[in-house]
Structure 1
């Protein structure tokens, strides 16, 4: 939507709580489009910073545009804190947003203005924008998406302690915005080992950003922050394979009997595979089933099972396989979908794919709008009966649980 607004050169109002990443979203778009960005915090500006200073030319008063305003090229001029700025800044900013000009200054053709505002609620001291004014802009509500932030955090080197905490707590963004977690992670990244070990230093360093309850949660997990692995744990999901550096390191650990290395791989990877960011990683080409299966082949059985359970049960990961619920419910016996299920079941390293298929099927069956048709369809009930006979026991039991919950009676083969 933001890219469309840029192409149309239409102003945008991004509305969301402070620290949610509105400006970062614009910077990411500009980087993607290969254009520039200029970010101005209106709450910190005085009128000359935006309007410019008056000068006399040919007996007339004109305004010399501030150097910060773009003069050429292409990009996005981002005006932050629009509804928290003083009126004497807000008025010229709105003129620049809606008319693309301010006195003698005119925004270059390749540029467009976006603005960020905070919600008009009791949590913020803002100057409301009336409906007629809002109608001039494309309004975009920005919210914190944990999966997207986690995927971003993994790529941008956010401290693993913070990443692990946000991954483990669905409500991490309820009272602490993403930007504040990032600030806390930056503090953690520069603390020395002895400072982390000293609880008081660590607590004082974090207390300026986080509520006491989150500080204690973070401190309680500090033993898990240190790593004996030389590779990035995230890279295992995209680059692992025979002969890769990580594969060689794990092989050496196995030869030396260092089982704690495998424990750490699983302890750090399982929450990621079970978490909501898996679909984001897959869409970005940073999760390969081939790499995952190569890793599982090199892990001890109990470690492999834990990772396969984590991924196989993740509803956000079901798009990774090429079998869809509709295929399983329509003429399943003898179909290509059945052949895939049987092949996956026979391959210990691909059996988790059966789990993904079952996870997708269970979610499909629980959609209320489909239930009546499925209950009445003998073809679907025959398919379900056939599938149940082919599933490994743990996945069969989960499917049976869903069938009982939804009142669907499978027709088992004679």
Structure 2
């Protein structure tokens, strides 16, 4: 019983896992600037190595990768050489960097044998191996798997672990979906990920990428052969996921010649893509418009929207230029999709606190009025109310907001300025947290 309590206590003290995506990229960026070695711990196949390469590319530095589970000591330490002075030296392995800047990625550290683990740890912690010294412009990053029954690993010494910036990492559906959109993953897999929040619980991202490559290799005729699809995909995926994937076969095809995600970052009123889409609209090709909206709506409503915002691949100007070229009913579908997405609220330039500080006559009130008058910008109101609901629900703020006459009066004025749907959302939230707005004139 005591050991179980101690284990639970230790687990509670462990930091929350960082999702593989923009948050982890920022940590690695800081670690590189501080020249600190990093230990990334997480399940296999979630993109640990890929994100290290991505960060290096963004920093404009090199990446050298060593899979320690495949190395023998001379591959890392070098072969001993007796020189003319009678002393033994070690020939530097060609794989180790000699100059410049970069990240030396040591994969599978805790799956390597002890005889390769020890020199690797010396390189990680002391930046040296015998006569070799890691160049000043380089850092080491090591990846390890969790010490659980699922992995055959060699435990790392706690004292050595303490020398590293240790980051527990996990797969993140939003970040992975954003990656999938830019790496041409099969549309059936992308659609499946949009519809199932737990898609990465049983199958890691790398395996879904393998399944995508397999699907891309099928001929059109083979895609109608259910037995072949089940036999092949079953080599990567559990049977339940295979069936879920095959159930969406009708939506795998596309009549579009482009990736709809590009519309969110590079669409302008005078662009070739705009002429193409307005051509669909003017010629009555509603099937093409329907497909654009059908593919964009789950992306805008899902967690990857926040990743695209952080990566500047979802820009408000491009999104609204697209909305201006769509029929009204299709425009509203996209506005509704993004309006309630908390991860997309950084797109707007009004803070929730501005609505609670003497709202009447403020700059925030003028912006709200302008957005309401412009059909292409009404989603901004929904995004602002989404952000406001999150803001007022925070327990640390509630006692002060409940007592603040200024905040409650401002909320009363805000409600009078909102479209009905957004007003209902705010009213429901205020009821739930126990804040009573003061209506104007009361």
The TM tier, using the shorter chain, reads over 0.9
User: Are 2:209 and 1:209 aligned?
Assistant: no
The CA distance in 2 between the partners of 1:256 and 1:378, in whole Å, is: 55
Indicate the residue corresponding to 1:173 in structure 2. 200
Q: 1:113 to 1:352 in 2, by over 3 A?
A: closer
Indicate the residue corresponding to 2:367 in structure 1. 340
Where does 1:9-408 land on structure 2 (aligned, <5 Å)? 9-58=35-84, 59-408=86-435
Q: Is the 8 A contact 1:231 1:246 kept in 2?
A: no
Q: Is the 8 A contact 1:345 1:351 kept in 2?
A: yes
Q: Is the 8 A contact 2:63 2:104 kept in 1?
A: yes
The CA distance in 1 between the partners of 2:219 and 2:399, in whole Å, is: 61
Q: Is the 8 A contact 1:362 1:399 kept in 2?
A: yes
Cα deviation code 1:41-100 (max 9, x no counterpart): 111122332233333333444333332222333222211111111112112222222232
**Residue 211 of structure 1, CA deviation:** 1.6
| Runs ≥4 residues deviating over 6 A | none
**Residue 284 of structure 1, CA deviation:** 2.3
TM-score by length of 1: 0.94
TM-score by length of 2: 0.88
**Residue 222 of structure 1, CA deviation:** 2.3
Of 148-157 and 15-24, the range deviating more from structure 2: 148-157
Structure 2 gap ranges (5+): 1-26
Structure 1 gap ranges (5+): none
**Residue 216 of structure 1, CA deviation:** 1.6
Q: 1:160 to 1:88 in 2, by over 3 A?
A: same
The CA distance in 2 between the partners of 1:33 and 1:357, in whole Å, is: 34
The CA distance in 2 between the partners of 1:135 and 1:212, in whole Å, is: 42
Q: Is the 8 A contact 1:21 1:179 kept in 2?
A: yes
Of 60-69 and 323-332, the range deviating more from structure 2: 60-69
**Residue 268 of structure 1, CA deviation:** 0.4
Indicate the residue corresponding to 2:21 in structure 1. none
Q: Is the 8 A contact 2:278 2:326 kept in 1?
A: no
Of 114-123 and 235-244, the range deviating more from structure 2: 235-244
**Residue 275 of structure 1, CA deviation:** 1.0
Indicate the residue corresponding to 2:13 in structure 1. none
